[in-house]
Amino acid sequence: MKFCLKNLFLFFALAGAFAAVMPLRAQSAAQPADPANEHVFLVMTDGLRWQEVFRGADPSLLTKANNDDRPVDQLVRQYVRSTPQQSRAALMPFLWSHIVPEGEIYGNRDKGSDAHVTNGLNFSYPGYSETLTGHADPRINSNDPVPNPNITVFEWLNKQPGLAGKTAAFGAWSVIGEAFNRQRCGFTDNAGFDPLTSIPMTPRLDLLNHLKAETPRIWDDETFDAPTFYTSLEYLEAKHPRLFYLSLGETDDWAHAGNYGRYLKAANRVDIYLQRLWEFVQANPDYRGHTTLILLTDHGRGDAPVEWKSHGQKVPASKYIFIAAMGPGIPRNREVVSGKPVTQNQIAATVAKLVGKDWNRETPAAGQPLSGITVSH
């Protein structure tokens, strides 16, 4: 892949300027989550390896061949440090300075922490479906844009007392719309290049809709992360949902293209977006002190020097993922280093538990909530 995106990224940088920057204030996780008032933000970034999350940038992959045949000096200065702990903090500073100290993270295989998918396929749609429903489904065996036959935890919660009409989902990849079954789910499910029309139009939203429609398309079924994120932020500001889902895709796309430089930059932008979401939370009384943020990926990837570009059944190591969370009821300051494995199928029940609902009773096949989460009764 050799093309110049400098001007295109300038558009997205201008869109980013719309986000208000608020001072961060750590949300206490000492008290249990209050189900009657809790909000859950579930964020996924496609195909981000646990290796970069816990080790930071891999210097062996920072070559001109892995960076559109361009020099990598600036990338090395930005992201490479003398230790893995310093490198990971340079790549994802908000994750390591705020989310982990105020919450927990699983999946550092270097320290004996095992987080993995259970669907056995290790690619996108099966991973999204497993996350959203709490179980693998052999019918979800491709990335074809077919409506998910399963009820997701978001669809179910959206019909529960106190939660009805308070759910929204956004995704850069168009298939995210089908993972929620947009024809049936009953809430805003904005994915790919689709304009957002379910809230009053504003100049910012109009610009974002035009950016998605009119900028060059590198991937036929996926827009860039920036317009997806800022579109979702417009919705948050207008509607204040209690259940919010965001899926970002560039970490997977650039890795498949063999562009490690853009892959790292995409991961860094994910971290920036997490920070901006948390700034939004802290600036809004309804959210502040009553919001849990969960971050994970749909699948992992293989190892350097070649398989980092790939994933799937033929790359067994791509089943390994990471899971991070912070907010009320979440154990604090915990990089899990050993113990029982955690799995992607536990996320749906975790989301439900935080708002006082039992997804396992509704869907017995679903994994149990993550351990250690406390909820008031």
Domains of the chain: 48-362 (3.40.720.10)
Q: Which residues contact 53 (CB under 8 A, 6 or more apart)?
A: 88, 92, 95, 105, 107, 322
For 10, the 3-state DSSP assignment is helix
Is there a contact between 139 and 149 (Cβ–Cβ < 8 Å)? yes
The pLDDT value given to residue 377: 79
Q: At what angle do helices 225-239 and 260-283 cross, to 10 degrees?
A: 10
The pLDDT value given to residue 4: 45
Backbone angles phi, psi at 294, to 5 degrees: -120, 135
Digits of tens for pLDDT over the chain (377 positions)?
434 444 444 444 444 444 333 333 333 345 899 999 999 999 999 999 999 999 999 999 999 999 999 999 999 999 999 999 999 999 999 999 999 999 999 999 999 999 999 999 999 999 999 999 999 999 999 999 999 999 999 999 999 999 999 999 999 999 999 999 999 999 999 999 999 999 999 999 999 999 999 999 999 999 999 999 999 999 999 999 999 999 999 999 999 999 999 999 999 999 999 999 999 999 999 999 999 999 999 999 999 999 999 999 999 999 999 999 999 999 998 899 988 999 999 999 999 999 999 999 999 999 999 999 999 97
The pLDDT value given to residue 20: 35
Q: How far apart are CA 299 and CA 363, in angstroms?
A: 23
pTM beyond cutoff 0.85:
yes
